[in-house]
Chains A and B, each alone.
Chain A
């Protein structure tokens, strides 16, 4: 694309962390007493202690590692622009921008930056508050000896430790914030625009415009009515290329019924005098959960039950949610005109029904904490953060319930290192992203010329192979499939480029009508190229050419001839001009006119005329040129 490299999102695959043992806040005797695991017939001393077994599953006893985007495909220093769609799609940013020679621009909306910042800070703080002394790596060499799922890990040798806060903040400092529908000029070569995608606060889809081509990139989008501003579909219409990604991770679950189930589970657990643990991220669906759950508790006469929100960034999350009104749904936006906080959780905090703490060891938590209650805390993987503590604490009591709402991690895998578990585990994944029905409908409405999809959307999900409805099916569109690690070239052919014609030059042109609706005018100008913008300006003779005997090209338009020469007319005109010795002879392709006295030959064909002239003063030649020119069409 005019020699630009654009990176669309930089998500981090966190699935890898499920292979690691949880990091408890207080030493856990249970986890400490897990037995070492070694492959049979293997006595590699370096592997000793790296792997532990729990309830038939093998885990790595080390600081969790993440799987960053594949770095070998592309040199990060050559990326010109990174477009970030939402705060869940930027976790790998520091891996890409720091220490790689990257010097491009990163664009994201203000909420994406702010929420992404505390999202990542939470993650870093979780890991930093529970440091691990040893780093296990030997197991990666012996993958073939290990049992699944560990042996099936995707490229574990590329896995990396998480960055630190310094790296994170210098990476985030590169982000330039943008508003929805703000047209950003990227090095003069193209324009990019973020448009609302309805998925979360500040989430966006991107429209990339070249002079005449349009590419739309759809990532995490939602057509449901939750708290964010609704999805803007208009801007995505009629693209030459539509890249579709970020569909729901749980296509068989309906978010509304999951929410209903969650509320019911909470109420029944509380009635049974149990408490509820909801592992969560610090922003996003939890805002809706606070709202719906508190209303449901009210209607179940359980208003006195406290809700706890424990995260190092809980206060930041709640504070930001209330100042980003412009990025919210209309209903929430209108509340600030009252003026009232857009989210009811501001009120819940004021009333003391929702209490937020940075940590379980934070001041005041012990005095405020009482059961039964509902606890929201991270991390949804149950590998670090307060959630580890609560599962350890409540795991043996069947009265308590853990409810999984975040769809990123398979809940049974998340729970594996805590087995056996007496606490109830309920799976209510809430993913508001587009499902396949919505996505298929969307593509039909957007009418792209070409559609690009990840390969996984063309076949039913591996867990539901019989659900052939869970695919993107578009018979009307040209579909291109992309696979992880594969480079595909997209069918965008540039037909035209925009240039600017100066008004001064334009006023000098005299277009000739060739036929109705078509006019041609020859054009001679000075092509000025600056910042990828092309201007055609009036040609001005320069003064510094005195050492040149010969002219530079004149600023006058030289015209172009077209059509055929009417030979009879030509000869007649020659006669009128006093050239009377013309002798016309037919030739295989036209005519040859001989001017006998001047030793001059004019060869006239359908599409060309050639004048051979030997006389030194060029007078005759110029005369002939004038007469010929009168007998031809020109523009």
Chain B
């Protein structure tokens, strides 16, 4: 139970299909359940047979945590819950719960209706799956069962994205999902407190880049759009309904306002108003600026961006159109593309990743002609632009997060192996902590030893505090605790020895030693006592040596001077527990036996 195991089923030295198994304190947690957008076969979903060869996996997983609504983090969820079989709890934030099913449905339609795939999950599967979801608020501490606790932190990246802290006993892990350490147009920066987890499992998409500022890319994007509409061209921006679309809308909206542009901007996303509605209602998840101003003006109530009508396709003159789907593989965006592609004045901007086989992928690879099923061939003369706006932490951001939460180990996922290796070196040398990067199906075993939480009796606690407070403050002084650990009925308590004996129902047996040293030290007895006191306290710097009534005491050691002007008897007495101290003091006094007191 001292070890924590992490096994990526997806996202191990790879981007996409995030799915990581975490085994901590006897609990098994699945972190994300994504699909790979680059595959159409079995490799699309994580290999759940790793968990069990056949049948439902409910008995093997205590809970599933979804970090955000991107399909590479939640795309396999309905497949797992409804087709593989999992009926345990699933946790995600409220915006994720609201938006994920829409993206899942979108993808399902594309896969089944356009690509004609069978053995895919159904709409009903998605609904049933979402019913198993429990929403969590930021920083809310959720007890999955009596031992497993989870807590969400803000991750930036997309609306509702969260990082999760997972704890069993005194072991803990932080899983970041995708995150962004710099605030963008509509979201804030990821934040986490100094929770000192045993492992930080972090994405490393941009492990080697210190990202060129996002502002630059945005400026670039706006410049291209502006140039195109200035020459009377039409701009097509294929997007997915939610996520990047809203950010680009805010970008264009503010630019249009600032530059006082009159060229129409249309939003032809299937859900149009609905999509933006999510953003309006989850405004508490956006950044400070948007939250502050939303009463006067909800940033997602766009003034310049109007809903699109199909008739507008043939309208003359410049315009900008956002249309779904994002990869130009079907629907309205493809329809518009066919019309506009042959004109070199026009432009298409692909703001995201495109799967092999889609029109988007073809034109990004420089295709000048695209052929369609009905033998229709479209000449692509329009300018084709690719722009990535994905909001991931760069190397600097990752290092920053490590600084924030001070993990004992770091484990990298969701990145390319070579880049990970580079970052791993950097983390190890800079933070002097271990760093792991298991491949898919490979298990990283990480040792996590922790102090044991026990009780201290109020009596001992009080006497310790009193003892401490009776001495002059000195932060460097070490506080020595001599006590007894009582293990009774699986509870552990430290007490003083007498209390412990009472608790155990036994009587203590004290052993004391007393020796007498004869000392030739002419003069009054009190003077000898003072001499001895001076001697002993000069040798016992850290100890509390006291002189009382011809008797010197240190802990349980008592040195007493008796006798006459000429000859003194020095009694040295101590309890067995102070044997070392007592016998040393005795030796000290014996060494001055023959000579004079120094």
Q: Do residues B485 and A563 form an inter-chain contact, with CB atoms below 8 A?
A: no
Instruction: Give the size of the chain A interface in residues (CB under 8 angstroms).
Output: 95
Stretch at the interface among A394-402, A459-467, A612-620: A612-620
B contact residues around A553 at 8 Å (CB) = 480, 482, 580-581
Q: Do residues A551 and B452 form an inter-chain contact, with CB atoms below 8 A?
A: no
Q: Is B343 an interface residue (CB 8 A)?
A: no
Q: Is A240 an interface residue (CB 8 A)?
A: no
Q: Do residues A500 and B140 form an inter-chain contact, with CB atoms below 8 A?
A: no
Query: Closest chain A residue to B284 by CB distance?
Result: A323
Query: Closest chain B residue to A537 by CB distance?
Result: B451
Q: Do residues B484 and A560 form an inter-chain contact, with CB atoms below 8 A?
A: yes
Q: What 1/0 flags go to A509-547 for Cβ under 8 Å of B?
A: 101001101111111111111000011100100100101
Stretch at the interface among B261-269, B501-509, B526-534: B501-509
- Interface residue ranges of B68-99 to A (CB < 8 Å): 94, 97-98
A contact residues around B481 at 8 Å (CB) = 523-527, 536
Q: Is A59 an interface residue (CB 8 A)?
A: no
Q: Is A337 an interface residue (CB 8 A)?
A: yes
Q: Do residues B281 and A339 form an inter-chain contact, with CB atoms below 8 A?
A: yes
Q: Do residues B577 and A548 form an inter-chain contact, with CB atoms below 8 A?
A: no
The answer to whether A520 and B484 touch (CB under 8 A), given A500-B454, A548-B541, is yes
- Interface residue ranges of B125-155 to A (CB < 8 Å): 135, 137-142, 151
Q: Is A635 an interface residue (CB 8 A)?
A: yes
Q: Do residues B455 and A497 form an inter-chain contact, with CB atoms below 8 A?
A: yes
A592 to chain B, nearest CB (A): 14
Which of the residues B458, B464, B512, B583 comes within 8 Å of A618, measured between beta carbons? B583
The answer to whether A523 and B483 touch (CB under 8 A), given A534-B456, A551-B581, A561-B510, is yes
Q: Do residues A550 and B540 form an inter-chain contact, with CB atoms below 8 A?
A: yes
B contact residues around A529 at 8 Å (CB) = 479
A266 to chain B, nearest CB (A): 29
Instruction: Give the size of the chain B interface in residues (CB under 8 angstroms).
Output: 85
Q: What 1/0 flags go to B574-598 for Cβ under 8 Å of A?
A: 0011111101111110100100000
Q: Do residues B505 and A611 form an inter-chain contact, with CB atoms below 8 A?
A: no
Q: Is A325 an interface residue (CB 8 A)?
A: yes
Q: Is B494 an interface residue (CB 8 A)?
A: yes
Q: Do residues A179 and B139 form an inter-chain contact, with CB atoms below 8 A?
A: yes
Q: What 1/0 flags go to B31-53 for Cβ under 8 Å of A?
A: 00000000000000000000000
Q: Is A427 an interface residue (CB 8 A)?
A: no
Q: Do residues A333 and B94 form an inter-chain contact, with CB atoms below 8 A?
A: yes
B contact residues around A565 at 8 Å (CB) = 509
Query: Closest chain B residue to A529 by CB distance?
Result: B479
A558 to B139, CA, bound (A): 46
Q: Do residues B294 and A319 form an inter-chain contact, with CB atoms below 8 A?
A: yes
Which of the residues B281, B587, B593 comes within 8 Å of A325, measured between beta carbons? B281
B106 to chain A, nearest CB (A): 15
A211 to B457, CA, bound (A): 12
Q: Is B114 an interface residue (CB 8 A)?
A: no
A contact residues around B259 at 8 Å (CB) = none
- Interface residue ranges of A241-276 to B (CB < 8 Å): none
Q: Do residues B539 and A563 form an inter-chain contact, with CB atoms below 8 A?
A: no
A584 to B65, CA, bound (A): 75
Q: Is B312 an interface residue (CB 8 A)?
A: no
Query: Closest chain A residue to B98 by CB distance?
Result: A337
A194 to chain B, nearest CB (A): 10
Q: Is A7 an interface residue (CB 8 A)?
A: no
Q: Do residues B515 and A621 form an inter-chain contact, with CB atoms below 8 A?
A: yes
Q: Is A609 an interface residue (CB 8 A)?
A: yes
Q: Do residues B94 and A561 form an inter-chain contact, with CB atoms below 8 A?
A: no
A320 to B511, CA, bound (A): 74
Stretch at the interface among A95-103, A129-137, A180-188: A180-188
- Interface residue ranges of B464-489 to A (CB < 8 Å): 464, 478-489
Q: Do residues A323 and B488 form an inter-chain contact, with CB atoms below 8 A?
A: no
A110 to B578, CA, bound (A): 58
Q: Is A564 an interface residue (CB 8 A)?
A: yes
B contact residues around A621 at 8 Å (CB) = 513, 515, 583
Q: Do residues B284 and A110 form an inter-chain contact, with CB atoms below 8 A?
A: yes
The answer to whether A551 and B580 touch (CB under 8 A), given A501-B454, A524-B481, is yes
Q: Do residues B507 and A611 form an inter-chain contact, with CB atoms below 8 A?
A: no
Q: Is B295 an interface residue (CB 8 A)?
A: yes
Stretch at the interface among B202-210, B272-280, B363-371: B272-280
A633 to B509, CA, bound (A): 9
A621 to B579, CA, bound (A): 11
Q: Is B500 an interface residue (CB 8 A)?
A: yes
Query: Closest chain A residue to B593 by CB distance?
Result: A616
Q: Is A419 an interface residue (CB 8 A)?
A: no
Q: Do residues A549 and B588 form an inter-chain contact, with CB atoms below 8 A?
A: yes
Q: Do residues A326 and B135 form an inter-chain contact, with CB atoms below 8 A?
A: yes
Query: Closest chain A residue to B536 by CB distance?
Result: A550
Q: Do residues B583 and A562 form an inter-chain contact, with CB atoms below 8 A?
A: no
Q: Do residues A607 and B583 form an inter-chain contact, with CB atoms below 8 A?
A: no
The answer to whether A562 and B478 touch (CB under 8 A), given A497-B456, A511-B485, is no
Q: Is A350 an interface residue (CB 8 A)?
A: no
Q: Is A608 an interface residue (CB 8 A)?
A: yes
Q: Do residues B506 and A499 form an inter-chain contact, with CB atoms below 8 A?
A: no
A606 to B510, CA, bound (A): 10
A220 to B25, CA, bound (A): 39
Q: Do residues A182 and B94 form an inter-chain contact, with CB atoms below 8 A?
A: no
Q: Do residues B484 and A611 form an inter-chain contact, with CB atoms below 8 A?
A: no
A contact residues around B310 at 8 Å (CB) = none
Q: Is B443 an interface residue (CB 8 A)?
A: no
The answer to whether A181 and B141 touch (CB under 8 A), given A336-B98, A339-B98, is yes
Query: Closest chain B residue to A522 by CB distance?
Result: B484
A458 to chain B, nearest CB (A): 33
B532 to chain A, nearest CB (A): 14
A contact residues around B484 at 8 Å (CB) = 520-523, 560, 635
Q: Do residues A548 and B280 form an inter-chain contact, with CB atoms below 8 A?
A: no
Q: Is B493 an interface residue (CB 8 A)?
A: yes
Q: Do residues B138 and A558 form an inter-chain contact, with CB atoms below 8 A?
A: no
Q: Do residues A325 and B94 form an inter-chain contact, with CB atoms below 8 A?
A: yes
Q: Do residues A608 and B295 form an inter-chain contact, with CB atoms below 8 A?
A: no
Q: Is B450 an interface residue (CB 8 A)?
A: yes
Q: Is B514 an interface residue (CB 8 A)?
A: yes
Q: Is B288 an interface residue (CB 8 A)?
A: no
Q: Is B389 an interface residue (CB 8 A)?
A: no
A contact residues around B284 at 8 Å (CB) = 110, 323-324, 326
A471 to chain B, nearest CB (A): 36
Q: Is A178 an interface residue (CB 8 A)?
A: yes
Q: Do residues A611 and B511 form an inter-chain contact, with CB atoms below 8 A?
A: yes
The answer to whether A523 and B494 touch (CB under 8 A), given A496-B457, A534-B456, A561-B508, is yes
Q: Do residues A558 and B579 form an inter-chain contact, with CB atoms below 8 A?
A: yes
A611 to chain B, nearest CB (A): 5
Which of the residues A323, A506, A519, A618 comes within 8 Å of B294, measured between beta carbons? A323
Q: Is B449 an interface residue (CB 8 A)?
A: yes
Give 4 closest A-B pairs by Cβ, nearest first. A500-B451, A527-B479, A496-B455, A182-B139
16 contacts between A and B (CB under 8 A): A315-B295, A326-B94, A496-B458, A498-B456, A506-B452, A517-B488, A518-B505, A545-B541, A548-B541, A550-B588, A562-B501, A562-B508, A609-B509, A610-B512, A625-B579, A632-B509
Interface residues of A (CB under 8 A from B): 110, 178-183, 193, 211-212, 315-316, 319-320, 322-326, 333, 336-337, 339-342, 494-503, 506, 509, 511, 514-515, 517-529, 534-536, 539, 542, 545, 547-554, 558-565, 606-614, 616, 618, 621-622, 625, 628-629, 632-633, 635
| 17 more CB-based (< 8 A) A-B contacts, given A518-B505, A520-B485, A565-B509 | A181-B140, A181-B141, A322-B281, A323-B284, A326-B284, A337-B98, A501-B454, A521-B487, A525-B481, A534-B456, A550-B540, A550-B588, A553-B580, A560-B500, A608-B512, A609-B510, A616-B593
